[in-house]
Structure 1
Amino acid sequence: MSLRSLRLRKLAAGIGVAALAALGAMGASGAAHAADPASPSNITGTTGTLTIHKHAGDPGAAGNGAEITDPDAVRQLGEALSGVQFSVQRVAYEGTAIDLTTAAGWDQAATATPANIASAPFSFANSTTVTTGADGQAALANLPYGLYYVTETNPGPNPIVSPVQPFLVSVPYPNQGTWLYDVHVYPKNKLNDTNPTKSVSAPDAPVLGSTVVWTVNAPVPALAAGDTYRSFSITDDLDDRLSYTGATVSVDGTPLVEDTDYTVSGNVKITFTSVGLSKLAGKTAVEAKISTKVMSLGADGQITNTALVNTNGSERETNSPQTNSGGLVIQKTDAATSDALSGAIFEVYDAKNGTLVAGPFTTDATGKISIDGLWVGNDSVTSRTYWVKETQAPAGYVLPADPWTEVTVTAGGTSAPTTVTLPNTQQTGPNLPLTGGAGSAAFTILGGGLVLAGVGTIVARRMRAQRS
């Protein structure tokens, strides 16, 4: 066997090992144009075809450049991935595209590897971008014979966590003593099929400014053999009504250290450092607890929050938990006139004779107390019962015999608070004499007697005057 034949065999064994990995037997189609052992001297034509077949799964045995045609082997390839983008670059040696129709070209190609291809004496003569179709295939026809460097540049809509490593492939491709002019490669990808979840806690106190904790549980996806965790992050774009206060992160229950294992930036992105990434291998899940304060109700009092978990560029979205709050307005009025009353004092409890939630509050000049927000529930729960206790009536009014009032607060914005009107009865004063009673009758009798006495005196004087 000649030295050049040995080089060709070595090159065929080394080119495209990562790319040609596929499950099942390899069919024998493709053009075998010569019965003699493959050598540059019996290459015919000047151009060939490269077809990239993209499927999900773990790489299997190395391919041989031929198309897979056996039905059982085709079924074992796994899900076809559409929308995956590849860059196909022709390799040059000392500035000239490698020509595989010559022995010198094969000698140059034999020294190329995916690791050294980007540095001298190698460079790239030209570049083409292709994208897989619905069948997972992308074909490049009329490729000049040469050595090509193939890079997966975009996963498209696919959650690829272990992209295929860049690889080299020749057109034509030596196969069992013949030349394949229609070359087929089967780079397979490991998909991220995890489903991260998110939940929200009840607040530490059911009023605005209290703390709620959003918990992200992110399963760690398995990688293809030989791959590593190159990046891992959790992004939680907080609602404007939330204020970030801190985060804790753990892997399989073991706490990590901020600024050593991960960093927190923006609003809010948790990014693993190289130290943190090294702790993911063989682990099951990452848990991140993100603490926030609810600062305002906004338009509807309903705050949803979704997180994105990114592993090696593969992004997965969590569900969207929700925390709900509503405003409460207490209106104090006169029971008889409905006039607003200031000076009444109230407290808010979670139950009758229960735990104090908020207060005390005092009604203003308009007779109102406006409580900006009370937590009413999470997710689909949008109302909650509270108990309002009047602890002091307005001056001159009576405190009700039962000072407790049950109120159902509903999630809503500042423009639509739950309103309750609570009247008070005015106090009564001491008893006063009745107009026309015993006292006035006595005065009437006395006055009448005095009038009669005066009339009698006048009559007596006149009678004396007549006698004389």
Structure 2
Amino acid sequence: MAVIALSATALMGVAVSAASAAPANIDPDEARSLTIHKLSMPETPGAAGDGSEVPSGSLPAGSLPINGVAFTVREVTEIGGVAVDLETDAGWALIQPYLDGTTPFVPSGATLGAGVVRTTANGGIAVFDTLPVGLFYVTETSAGSNSIAAPAQPFLVTLPMPTTEPGVFRYDVHAYPKNVLGDEPYMVKTVEDSTAYAVGDKVTWTISTRVPDSSGYAVATFGVYEMPNVEALARWDDTKVWSANDGTQFPDRATVTPKGGTPVVLYPEDLASASNPAPVTELSDSGLAKVNAAGPGSIIEFVYETRVQAIPANGEIDNQAEVAMDGINKFVGAEALWGTARVNKHAQGDEDARLAGAEFQVFATEAAANAAAAQVASGDPVTGGLEFGAGSTAGADRKTFTTADQGADHGFVVINGLKAS
């Protein structure tokens, strides 16, 4: 997690002395980015971080991503009339008191550049990837339609960010500002596709709903209407469907987690089917009893496992749902990005001399691809290639793509059904 200090302005990352920052090591041509992950405040905060990305499974329990929150990033070009130049030792010495927290940063005493605004989406994420080398002041400028008790504290961050290793910088920086949610139910949908690479792989969608954290609050009604792209996504469990008005449309897993507690399973008997007029999964009397036993601030999760079976023309697999709790209805959504790759095969040194009949496979990692290249060089069978499901242009083995041998535009292959990476 990013360090959020309880001062006039928070600082983000590790405190590094100007002497060890080694600005001569900064490569101004290296691509830089600041990625904001907007989360709700957990019951137990996570460990302080260093600007690196935290795997989703390692986030503090109870942290839910918040979409629709706007952040504004402004470069701090001068402090007290002195230019901030992070490619010099003097520049780092100037900002040192603010990085180590001994001097609060006061925006009115600095010169700030034009604001760059991004709004969190698809898992509470906003990416700023056009910023120069510099010191930046980050503020939350709109909560959108979310019920948020108070905005996150402004913070300072440098791009790139020094690491604890002298002279080594982090160019892709991740920050995790958090909000205390308000008194309304909060709903969000997220996607987990980190192990999906090709058509036929599993993509998991989770609908999370936080019960208002108000003393004595009890849930009276709760329902979920899942609205996926049915052409692109099938249920991973073939015995389940999207649209029936019976238990076959239930989520693959359902839980309720008390604030600061451990998940309690919601079994099929804790769920109920309804038509409203579309199929809705509700909580039965026993399900409501479990949720209310978990108490205010608890989180209900419905998990749907899907198989990617086709890729839309725009590459966006959009998955929406309508969630209702006690008269509060909200549409929530997430998307997985997929696409195609065209590979042209030609004679070395002559791009016009295209070659048909060349075979290609796709690998999940560089190490796996290098191992396969060694197998090709030694004449051994190639192993480790990704297997593509129905709907791809792979051959009979579902792994191999062969360059075309017909038409004027030959010697190429289109590999379809790849997750964007």
TM-score range (shorter-chain normalised) is 0.3 to 0.5
Structure showing greater relative contact order (alpha-carbon pairs closer than 8 Å, 6 or more residues apart): 2
* TM-score, with structure 1 as normaliser: 0.33
